[in-house]
Amino acid sequence: MLYPLIRKFFFALDPELAHGLGMNGIEFLNRAGIACLLAKPVAANPVELMGLTFPNPVGLAAGLDKNGEHIDALASLGFGFIEIGTVTPRPQPGNPKPRMFRITEKQAIINRMGFNNHGVDQLLANVAKSKFAQAGGILGINIGKNFDTPIEKAVDDYLICLDRVYNAASYVAINISSPNTKNLRELQKDDALDALLGQLKAEQTRLADKHGKYVPLVLKIAPDLEDEQIQSIADLLRQHRMDGVIATNTTLSRAEVEGLPNANEAGGLSGAPVFERSTAVLKKLAGHLKGEVPIIGVGGIMQGADAVAKLDAGASLVQLYSGFIYRGPDLVGDVARAIAERRR
């Protein structure tokens, strides 16, 4: 389709600049009614999960549309669900630029964005304008903490965001696994995670009563976990009856890209090199959860076979991010078709 022709242009630019231009380009094509130039229609392949009906099992991971500014345009590319964010209670600029780097030899990206976003109120204003959201499209909202909120008070930020986004979201994702906010991953440890999940689930119950609807809560975890940590997280997910888990975020490891240009840049590594590590965590997690908590698989999906491997490891849905940047919108249909073939 159109994307392979213009990728060379985008990849000649600074990655963050290219990202902004790309999002604006998709927006323009959608408003002009010609988004079909970017991607073929994706056949329906519904999945029932967390009390929701996903039109197909291929979603967009958080991070591509942090402020919910391009929901309708991205939905036009065939995604079964869209996850926006990560959003924080207050606007924040994120880390200093440059903060995004390509490793094209390995179809990888390193980012240290740092939850740059316009704040939860602006995100909600954007969601309110979305035809996709108004029509009942599956919209996940990924929430985090502000960089200057002390880690011991992080739960306050998550509770603020959960309260604000609850009525606008199909599900809410709790991001405690970004490597680009100081000490955030400390929240994955036993006592901290137990306390966080307990308070979030209590707030979910209160909000369900208030709004008369139940909005699922899912936890997004890192790939850099020891076996004991995976077991502990699984136990807490089951204990607190979490509705789902996203496995995984980016990795701090550089084993797969060592010696390549940009490999020593600080931040989280995504793309093809994280696939094996992410899928291994997913498989171990699935073994511990025994089907009690559904898993959304993300990390290094660059082709249909990668998505099938995620499902074989125990995922029920998948999400794309770096593969979408390297392969373009055609990847959505490729992955959807591969999964449909697997289900036959």
CB-based contact 285:233 (threshold 8 Å):
yes
Tell me how many degrees the CA angle 251-254-258 measures, rounded to the nearest 5.
160
Positions marked active-site? 178
**Which of 233, 220, 241, 249 has its CA nearest to residue 293?**
241
Q: What are phi and psi of 105, to 5 degrees?
A: -60, -25
Is residue 46 a contact partner of residue 53, using CB atoms and an 8 Å limit? Answer: yes
8 Å CB contact between 320 and 301: yes
Q: Which residues contact 36 (CB under 8 A, 6 or more apart)?
A: none
Contact 315, 218 (CB under 8 A): no
| Signed CA dihedral, 76, 111, 268, 275: sign only | positive
Q: Assign residue 7 a region (left: φ > 0; alpha: ψ between -120 and 50; beta: otherwise).
A: alpha
